[in-house]
Amino acid sequence: MKTKKQNKHIYWNPYFGGFLLGILIIFTFFITGRGLGASGAMKSSVVTIVDAAAPKHAEKNSYYSKFVEDGESPMNNWLVFETLGVLIGAFISGSLSGRIGWRVQHSPKITRRRRLIFAFSGGILFGIGAQIARGCTSGAALSGMAVLSTGGFITMLSIFGTAYLFAYFFRKNWI
């Protein structure tokens, strides 16, 4: 008789995680006067790379020139430190619970390669969408909803509504 393999890892209750996220948003508004956001850190990283590789192009480009100032690094931004903190915290959490490893989790119905292609493509599309929307889900939706912004609620509904619509067509990739 086969027994079902028990998950040896203990995870936090997702409601408790949501509660902590809400406390973090309030704390962030109190300390910085702004909500959470991660896409700004990616923008700062890209601007820094472009400025290091082609400084004249960065100065002349209408987009990059807004973020390149004499003596001031685009990486000296609280969003960069926030994102680094999230990454370090995730690494510590994964280490403590024994969940760090080189593996690709995927459905038995698809290959590892297909899973990676879909994950990479989804990440690229979400990044483009965050740039078009002028913020990622944490910045536009969570922080917007925290201040009862109509745009924050519309953003969150749009994100989840679109995800549910697309999930129907792509569900075979994980079920």
Kindly list the averaged pLDDT for each block of 10 residues, start to end, along the chain of length 175. 58 85 87 80 89 92 85 84 89 84 79 88 85 76 85 86 86 72
Please give the pLDDT value at position 7: 56
Please give the pLDDT value at position 123: 87
Helical segments of the chain, H only: 14-32, 39-53, 55-60, 78-96, 112-132, 143-146, 150-170
Tokens of 36: 């959470």
Please give the pLDDT value at position 1: 52
Rounded to 5 degrees, what are φ and ψ at 87? Answer: -65, -45
- Cα separation, 34 vs 20, in Å, equals 17
Among candidates 36, 53, 44, 43, which has minimal Cα distance to 76?
A: 44
- The answer to whether 116 touches 124, Cβ cutoff 8 Å, is no
- Cα separation, 129 vs 158, in Å, equals 12
Please give the pLDDT value at position 29: 86
Please give the pLDDT value at position 162: 86
Please give the pLDDT value at position 53: 95
Please give the pLDDT value at position 4: 56
Please give the pLDDT value at position 2: 55
Please give the pLDDT value at position 108: 79
Q: Which amino acid is at 42?
A: M
Residue owning tokens 């086969």: 2
Please give the pLDDT value at position 6: 58
Residue owning tokens 């700004």: 40
Please give the pLDDT value at position 15: 92
Q: Please state the pTM of the whole predicted model.
A: 0.68
Please give the pLDDT value at position 48: 93
